[in-house]
Structure 1
């Protein structure tokens, strides 16, 4: 909600504590006033003082904000690809995408884009414990520990939406 409150605000979850977020905004003008009203409206607390932005924090906030604002039309796959299809998981055939790279130097942000075709190979097989797979959206290599058809009742996640939100935040903080 903070990201969409003002076009000049950028934010991202903290790498180490998902209950914290970093926000980049203009201290002068409407950004600060709008943030204060959002904090009051949602009973949020500012922790610590307002600090200058580091290049690392700027890059993390820029990537997270860009990903959030492009979704769901463009979806992040891996650390460097966007696929242009909201239904990319069920679509057949090659899909349009871009490979991107962001770099921050001095006071300059460089965004490199290269058009690509992305091919997803879907498996109808059941996955076996101990099997190596690549997982979406990060494309990290993982070992299957167990396969479930339904979410466990004792788990932290109550719905697919909860899992999706968790993965989206995790992937964005790992970039």
Structure 2
């Protein structure tokens, strides 16, 4: 874990996040994968608009940021995705929206800025064959995308 993640009150970093959110509306915080843990990323700033933050796991930094920025921009101009909603991405995989069970446990810096009552939605992406992580044959059994909440089944 990085030193800033170990101490989210570390002087300077939260202020830089506040400034970035004030300038751009939201930011994407990436977390590198290590060993058994895949990379993941989340937005910081959507809570300031009364919206849930967005999370994606198992994608490298650039694709994760592209996905989160695209959905965040849409959420600000239309509405955020709903739990259980499936979103076909142009040129990308199908995504299903899953609410996080404990957002403040995973979105350390968003919680530091907006409090422990933040809400968050995970954008769970299908593999190249259209299978989701709750399928035993997702990525041919190799996994790599933790789901941080329970699926919303209609």
**Higher share of residues assigned strand:** 1
Whose helix fraction is larger, Structure 1's or Structure 2's?
Answer: 2
TM-score by length of 1: 0.22
Q: Which has the higher contact order (CA 8 A, sep 6+)?
A: 2
Whichever of the two has the greater Rg, that structure is 1
Normalised by the size of structure 2, how large is the TM-score? 0.25
